[in-house]
Structure 1
Amino acid sequence: MSTIERTAYPRFKKNISSKELVKIYTPNHEEIEIAHRVAKGEAQVLNFILMIKSFQRLGYFPKINEIPIEIVKYLCSQLNIASDVDLNLPNRTLYRYNSSIREYLNVTEFGASARHVITEATYKAAQVMNNPADLVNVAIETLIKERFELPAFSTLDRLARHIRTLVNSNIYENVLNKLTSDKKLQLDSLLYIEDSENYSKFNYLKEIPKSATINHLKALGNTYQLLLSMGDVESLIKEIPIAKIKHYASEAKVLDASEINNFSIAKKYTLILSLIYMSKVKTRDNLVEMFLKCLRKIQNKGKDELKKIQEKNRVKTENLISILTNVLLKTNDNNKNDTTLGQQIREIVNANGGTEVLLTDCDTISSYNGNNYLPLIWKFYKSYRKSLFRLIKLLEIRTATQDYSLIEALNFLIANEDKRTELLPFTLDLAFASAQWQNTVMVKEGGNTFLVRRHLEVCIFYHLASGLKTGDLCIDTSEDFADYRKQLLPWEDCEPLVSDFCTEMDFKENPSEFVAQLKSLLKEKSIEVDKNYSDNGNITINEKGEVVLKRAKAKNIPKSALDLEKAIHKCLPERDVIQILCNVEYWLNWTRHFGPLSGSDPKLENAVERYVTLAFGYGCNLGPTETSRHMKSSVTPHMLSFVNRRHVTAKKLEEALKDIINLYDKCYLPNLWGNNKIAAVDGTMHDLYKENLVSEYHIRYGGNGGIAYHHISDKYIALFSHFIPCGVWEAIYIIDGLMKNKSDIQPDTIHGDTQAQSTPVFALTYLLGIKLMPRIRNWQDLKFYRVDKSHKYKHIDSLFSDVVDWKLIETHWKDMLQVVFSIKAGKIVPSTLLRKLNNYSHKNKIYQSFKELGNVIRTIFLLGYISDIEMRQQITSTTNKMESYNGFSKYLSFGGEGVISENDPDEQEKRIKYNNLVANAVILQNVVDMTLILKELSANGVEFTKSDVATLSPYITKHIKRFGDYVIDLENIPKAIDMSISIPMK
């Protein structure tokens, strides 16, 4: 049976605030009239009102003794009835009251028709959902929508579990019926350990990719070949929805071979096939990712080699300059005749090695004087050659555009793989290659043009990598490198949405009118800044056209605020992290989101205690071994590792985080620090082991690792976090975090640093109704765009260096809307799209249109940024909170010497979310403690103002005990949070 806490089944809250009593349980005049008409006597009227208000809250009639005493007392006071009145009534009377209430609320009693409705809805949902709690929620939502009374929770739970079993059994049997005896033997062989092996081949299906080296590329290729040897898996499970396949695969991934063997034959084969399918997809993506990293590594080595050569040639260059200087000095002597001058020049040449040596030096310097490192790449490419050829044969790469020149070149390359001749006939269309590459690849000999085989190979692989990055090339059976254009909603599905969307966003529906609207916005902002230039005082443009911004003065914190902060710090009770997690668990029961991936209830002894221990150990980066050592309970490292793998996913952590965020948002203090509309984004590096595909060296941060990319509300709480590789542009994940944040805090304005912006990001956020307002370093290097060449400005004209291509925006207005609707519909993840829309996408028209729209929006923002000092102060203030959070969360990640010891990308992501969970729990506890202290200080006569309180921060750590032995005490009940608390302030 599912635990009721894991579902949305309505229940009375443990602690009901006075504000909630007034808002939810106050009877209106009509309800009181009906009560007096139906019921006779004080007790009966009170009983009727209790039933009607409870039903409005719950959707079903509770037993009278289940209604919290706070509600009873409140309604007694509202009805002027003594609170000690006897509420027991005969069943016949209660039945009559319930019938009257249903009639008044237009609700139908749960019966056969209701059961039929929820059976259909739950059966349909079970085709893609697997968790019983989710199916129960579907049933509840359907009943409420259709205005049926909710039955007992056990009724819904039994129905959901029965339907899930039925749907899954049908799926399992359908798969089993498709399997031949040979295929069954093949699948069974994965689960057995051969004499020559240390473990079964089943483990290969769960293998984690390592760092991008030639040996690891070979090993991953071998794994992929094993997966391909399993034959046509896709046709066996093609009728199963992809969401269901992913669930089965994730369930199989955390099990070992012996556990899989314990399932029924049909279920066993279905889970294995799902895991093979998803492993194929993931391995294919990992192969491409490793291919891209290997190519980048080869390219960087070529660049480094060029620098070394140029450094070595510096002596030759200086020597040649010295020789030329001597020659010019001799030539400058007008008293010498040509014969004498010629002899002296020859002496200078001979003294420096002779003509041939100096000509060779000139050729060497000339060859490497520019930035052409391309001829040097072969030296580093040749050791990868065999593996790269094997890779492109395994991957079915195709073009996503009408340009087939690169695919034809790839086929030509494969056909000539074994040839050792240096020159190949010039029979290819090299339109895909840059001019520099074409000059490197082509050579003329005997009046004919040939292709240099070595350079051609490198050139084609180089452009294959570029095409896969930009989406010009794709792999159909991939997730990250599929044709993103096919993931977009068809335009016929988008067209009906245009009118409502444009009304909501205040956009013009017609493309030409939308462009006119943009022109007007840019023109008005430019004129406004130019007009106010003289009176502004925050911006100065000198004669050279250089812009100087007035530095914003830091706000002085008044002494009263500093004194208040000291008083609070002095009164804060000492707390350890695990105690805080227990307190938050009592308030929210956040551990209810954890449990087996199958959706069943946990069969752990002391499950809540185990989950709290797990969150503490992983959130503080101690890991299972160190956590076990410091816990006085009998928890072992294996227990913790087992529960982490089997019971917790990134999605479940996000659900637990959402609970904490929502409770925090209802507290009093956070509303003095910010609002729900502003957030900041930033990344902070975490050290990783090198043997994984995520870990990279980061120039900006230094060292190998990955980036924890956080979305932080201006109320200080963390809303969402990703764990991303160092090599990506962080801005592409801005929108992902906003779309995946399902909490009550929903920001529409985002601040960040330079990494948080690019022109496509400015364009996409604008179309999604998000205000992107980053703090940009070296903003002077960015282009400002004017409406057209005829628009000149008296003061700020020197800022503008280019004109917007309005025709491009108008032409691709529908294409951009199609992208926006696809993101809103969840058909494509913003980061997947923005990863393709980068500087390599020169041929991509969608990229060009987004870039052009971004030029407009970024120019408007920059004009406001340079002219509005308050805007700059707001951006700085919010991004400072972001940077403070980075330090705060790392303070709580005190284990493992700061190194995330996981090589699995899924586990790395979970580690960051565990840390968010701990950090947000501490923030919530700090706010609760600060609120109580402020109330106590006020009661003791200490005066302070709202502006004093607004300077405070919940990132307080002095009272947090991090080290020592840890004890979980779930019986230690913390004080209840009263959301109605307000602090008297001047």
Structure 2
Amino acid sequence: MHTVASGVRDDVVTMFCKRIAAIHKRGRDHLEALREAHRAESERLLGVFGEVLTAAREAGAGTGAGTAVPDGVGAAAVPGARVDERQAAEHAGRLVLKTLEQAGGVEALTAAHEAVSAHHGNNYFPLLDQHYRSHRSALFTLVEAVELEATSADRSVLDAVEFLTALRGAKAALVPEQFVVQRPGPDGKPVAVTLSIDVDAFTSLQWRKTVRDPARPGMLVRRHLEVCVFTYLAAELRSGDIAVAGSDSYANLHDQLMSWEECRPLVPAFCAQAGIPAEASALTRHYRDELAAVAAAVDAGYPGNTDLLLEGGSPVLRRRKGAERRPSAQQLEAAIHDRLPQRALLDILTRTAYLLRWHRHFGPASGSDPKIRGDVMGRYVLTAFAHGTLLGPTQVDAHMRGQVSVHELSLAGNKHTTASKIDAASVDVIDHFNRLDVASVWGDGKSAAADGTQIDTCEDNLLAETSIRYGGYGGIAYPARVQHLHRAVLPLHPVRGVGGGLHHRKAAEERLGDPARHHPRRHPRPVPAGLRPRRPLGFDLLPRIRNWHDLVFFRPTETVRYSHIDTLFGEAAVDWKLIETHWSDLLRTASPSGRTSCRR
């Protein structure tokens, strides 16, 4: 019964979200149909406007209105100047009125302009009301059939839903932003409760223009308000910011974290360790000052930056031209090749296995000695070569000319190796490499980089799944590097949402110590990727930004302007109030206590 009830609640929410999506699709199609219907009228109005400009130009050219007046001399000092301007204006006015009259008259053109300009932009929100009316009762019923709960500190959408449900029986076109209702109190007597809605807290600028009546301050257009609130409710349900009690797909995932009451005593110590203020207001002030300082430094250094160029507000990195190699560099390269001759990969694997004995981790699951005839180390080296180079046992067998069979390589790979055994062998190689002097030449080990590679696996593998990024079925292996040299191939695991950033962090901690800077290939989620050094995650996550020409850089404040890089920023500033509102949610997610609770 519990499973069936959870499934029914999931179906109710899914139906609600799909119906809202269908309403928006019809609104967009309606707007496109109106544009297509008004296209001919728009072209006619543009033609009339062109004729008006032609008439004004002819009037100015025919009366000599273009006569120049010397600088420093007023029009009154030139007797013919004022007469020419008046004649030009009168002649232009007569030609313009004649043109407008021939096009149908001022009244008809005004009405046509209002009809066309009403749907000139991309705002289709005013058209949604027509497609919403037939679904209004069903949508209210779906919302009232489930118990909604906020999963974060922001309850603005949930309060708006409560506001709407109280107005379900309203018939007026306009409703106030605040009104009083009677509800039963603790003793059973009615109590006056004030309900209000703050549309600025969760709506966009286009929605605010749609739901407000400019002629009636404090009043909202009821139909548009209902569509607006239901739209944001569907978005919050899909994103998980609002959950449904007793549901499965739309359950409150934050319940798996520690509660804020449990996390609150741990906040001061955690923030001190991460190097960030423990109060929300102090945190936003700290971030705002740091963003302003960085932007000011970039603006001051832009004239001397020969690599960066702003073209139309988009950053462009110039391609550097390679300089001629100096004779000393060529001599150094020759000396390196002389001391480090070219080695075959199979020779390198054999030598490392002989010196480090990394193959000792391999063997049957029973733990007994492997029943391999002949050279055990050679068999495991060839197995690692076959699978590590992705050649496979068949290709290696073809090149070994009968020295080893496909069955022998497949048996060692499938029966004698596991993800944990390969991981242990990799750790041996990395640990011994870190002891070499050459490892310190590349850096101090505080930077790590990673990139994912899809590996084809069988469909019944528990570690494999469909990857949207790679467009195929298999597992993702993440090799973690420190300073592009230290390398540890991780076991296959599916990638979900975070783009490998958090997987990369965990791998680096286990194999490479605790690097302070992490460089995953890319990060599709802006919130985790934007956590910088000494931030809630305690490390500097610096991914490669993809499609950065399409990104909008927010200003520290709306009033700040820059001399050289101002076109890089949009008009909007960072919503610091939003960060303060969700500060407790960020701490519950990012703190070690929250992550431990989530794993538990």
Q: TM-score range by the shorter chain?
A: 0.5 to 0.7
From 520, 534, 540, the equivalent of 1:766 is 534
Q: Does the Cα contact within 8 Å between 1:681 and 1:709 map onto a contact in 2?
A: yes
CA spacing shift, 1:491–1:458, aligned 2, 3 Å? closer
In the alignment, the residues of structure 1 paired with residue 252 and residue 383 of structure 2 have an alpha-carbon distance, to the nearest angstrom, of 37
Matched, 1:678 2:453: no
- Show the counterpart of 2:342: 571
CA spacing shift, 1:722–1:636, aligned 2, 3 Å? closer
- Show the counterpart of 1:460: 230
SS in structure 1 opposite 2:591?
helix
Amino acid at match of 1:317: S
1:487 deviates by 0.8
- Show the counterpart of 1:495: 265
1:715-794 to 2 correspondences below 5 Å: 715-718=485-488, 723-724=494-495, 730=499, 733-741=500-508, 742-751=510-519, 755=523, 758=526, 761-763=529-531, 765-767=533-535, 768-773=537-542, 782-783=553-554, 785=556
- Show the counterpart of 2:597: 827
Amino acid at match of 2:518: I
CA spacing shift, 1:820–1:615, aligned 2, 3 Å? same
Structure 1 gaps, min length 5:
1-224, 233-279, 417-422, 830-986
Q: Does the Cα contact within 8 Å between 1:680 and 1:713 map onto a contact in 2?
A: yes
In the alignment, the residues of structure 2 paired with residue 747 and residue 502 of structure 1 have an alpha-carbon distance, to the nearest angstrom, of 19
- Show the counterpart of 2:67: none
In the alignment, the residues of structure 2 paired with residue 734 and residue 568 of structure 1 have an alpha-carbon distance, to the nearest angstrom, of 38
Q: Does the Cα contact within 8 Å between 1:491 and 1:818 map onto a contact in 2?
A: no
In the alignment, the residues of structure 1 paired with residue 597 and residue 39 of structure 2 have an alpha-carbon distance, to the nearest angstrom, of 55
From 601, 611, 633, the equivalent of 2:406 is 633
- Cα deviation 1:559-611 (Å, max 9, x = unaligned): 1344356558863125399989998995144546x96xxxx8799997x9999
- Show the counterpart of 1:366: 117
SS in structure 1 opposite 2:223?
strand
- Show the counterpart of 1:27: none
CA spacing shift, 1:379–1:808, aligned 2, 3 Å? closer
- Show the counterpart of 2:79: none
Amino acid at match of 2:223: L
SS in structure 2 opposite 1:680?
strand
1:179-198 to 2 correspondences below 5 Å: none
In the alignment, the residues of structure 2 paired with residue 571 and residue 775 of structure 1 have an alpha-carbon distance, to the nearest angstrom, of 33
1:404-443 to 2 correspondences below 5 Å: 404-405=158-159, 408=162, 431=199, 434=204, 436-437=206-207
Q: Does the Cα contact within 8 Å between 1:375 and 1:440 map onto a contact in 2?
A: yes
1:569-968 to 2 correspondences below 5 Å: 571-573=342-344, 575=346, 587-591=358-362, 632-634=405-407, 658=427, 661-666=430-435, 669-681=438-450, 696=468, 711-714=480-483, 715-718=485-488, 723-724=494-495, 730=499, 733-741=500-508, 742-751=510-519, 755=523, 758=526, 761-763=529-531, 765-767=533-535, 768-773=537-542, 782-783=553-554, 785=556, 819-822=589-592, 826-828=596-598
From 312, 319, 322, the equivalent of 2:47 is 322
In the alignment, the residues of structure 1 paired with residue 439 and residue 23 of structure 2 have an alpha-carbon distance, to the nearest angstrom, of 50
From 138, 142, 149, the equivalent of 1:398 is 149
- Cα deviation 1:373-416 (Å, max 9, x = unaligned): 4578899999x99xx99999999753335453465599899x99
Amino acid at match of 1:572: R
- Cα deviation 1:249-298 (Å, max 9, x = unaligned): xxxxxxxxxxxxxxxxxxxxxxxxxxxxxxx9xx9999999999998899
CA spacing shift, 1:587–1:495, aligned 2, 3 Å? same
Q: Does the Cα contact within 8 Å between 1:734 and 1:756 map onto a contact in 2?
A: no
SS in structure 1 opposite 2:534?
helix
Q: Does the Cα contact within 8 Å between 2:309 and 2:315 map onto a contact in 1?
A: yes
In the alignment, the residues of structure 2 paired with residue 694 and residue 286 of structure 1 have an alpha-carbon distance, to the nearest angstrom, of 25
1:220-369 to 2 correspondences below 5 Å: 228-229=3-4, 317-327=42-52, 329=54, 334=90, 345-349=100-104, 363=115, 365-369=116-120
1:321 deviates by 0.6
CA spacing shift, 1:807–1:660, aligned 2, 3 Å? same
Amino acid at match of 2:538: G
- Cα deviation 1:687-717 (Å, max 9, x = unaligned): 999xx99554x7xx9x789997764321241
In the alignment, the residues of structure 2 paired with residue 514 and residue 438 of structure 1 have an alpha-carbon distance, to the nearest angstrom, of 30
Q: Does the Cα contact within 8 Å between 1:695 and 1:704 map onto a contact in 2?
A: yes
1:678 deviates by 0.5
- Cα deviation 1:920-948 (Å, max 9, x = unaligned): xxxxxxxxxxxxxxxxxxxxxxxxxxxxx
1:771 deviates by 3.1
CA spacing shift, 1:474–1:601, aligned 2, 3 Å? farther
Amino acid at match of 2:236: S
Amino acid at match of 2:49: L
Q: Does the Cα contact within 8 Å between 2:313 and 2:567 map onto a contact in 1?
A: yes
CA spacing shift, 1:562–1:605, aligned 2, 3 Å? same
Amino acid at match of 1:677: K
CA spacing shift, 1:448–1:407, aligned 2, 3 Å? closer
In the alignment, the residues of structure 2 paired with residue 517 and residue 297 of structure 1 have an alpha-carbon distance, to the nearest angstrom, of 44
- Cα deviation 1:592-650 (Å, max 9, x = unaligned): 6x96xxxx8799997x999999988887778999999999434899x999989xx967x
CA spacing shift, 1:491–1:505, aligned 2, 3 Å? same
From 208, 229, 241, the equivalent of 1:471 is 241
Matched, 1:559 2:310: no
CA spacing shift, 1:303–1:515, aligned 2, 3 Å? closer
CA spacing shift, 1:657–1:316, aligned 2, 3 Å? farther
- Show the counterpart of 2:223: 451
Q: Does the Cα contact within 8 Å between 1:398 and 1:474 map onto a contact in 2?
A: yes
Q: Does the Cα contact within 8 Å between 1:442 and 1:450 map onto a contact in 2?
A: no
In the alignment, the residues of structure 2 paired with residue 412 and residue 629 of structure 1 have an alpha-carbon distance, to the nearest angstrom, of 77
In the alignment, the residues of structure 2 paired with residue 532 and residue 761 of structure 1 have an alpha-carbon distance, to the nearest angstrom, of 26
1:530 deviates by 10
In the alignment, the residues of structure 2 paired with residue 620 and residue 653 of structure 1 have an alpha-carbon distance, to the nearest angstrom, of 14
Q: Does the Cα contact within 8 Å between 1:710 and 1:722 map onto a contact in 2?
A: no
CA spacing shift, 1:573–1:536, aligned 2, 3 Å? same
In the alignment, the residues of structure 2 paired with residue 695 and residue 680 of structure 1 have an alpha-carbon distance, to the nearest angstrom, of 21
In the alignment, the residues of structure 1 paired with residue 347 and residue 142 of structure 2 have an alpha-carbon distance, to the nearest angstrom, of 52
- Show the counterpart of 1:128: none
TM-score (norm 1): 0.37
Q: Does the Cα contact within 8 Å between 1:426 and 1:451 map onto a contact in 2?
A: no
Amino acid at match of 2:3: L
Amino acid at match of 2:511: S
In the alignment, the residues of structure 1 paired with residue 397 and residue 249 of structure 2 have an alpha-carbon distance, to the nearest angstrom, of 38
In the alignment, the residues of structure 2 paired with residue 312 and residue 722 of structure 1 have an alpha-carbon distance, to the nearest angstrom, of 53
From 254, 268, 289, the equivalent of 1:484 is 254
CA spacing shift, 1:328–1:679, aligned 2, 3 Å? same
CA spacing shift, 1:739–1:591, aligned 2, 3 Å? same
Q: Let me know the Cα RMSD of the aligned residues.
A: 7.5
CA spacing shift, 1:425–1:683, aligned 2, 3 Å? farther
Amino acid at match of 1:321: L
CA spacing shift, 1:591–1:457, aligned 2, 3 Å? farther
In the alignment, the residues of structure 1 paired with residue 322 and residue 38 of structure 2 have an alpha-carbon distance, to the nearest angstrom, of 51
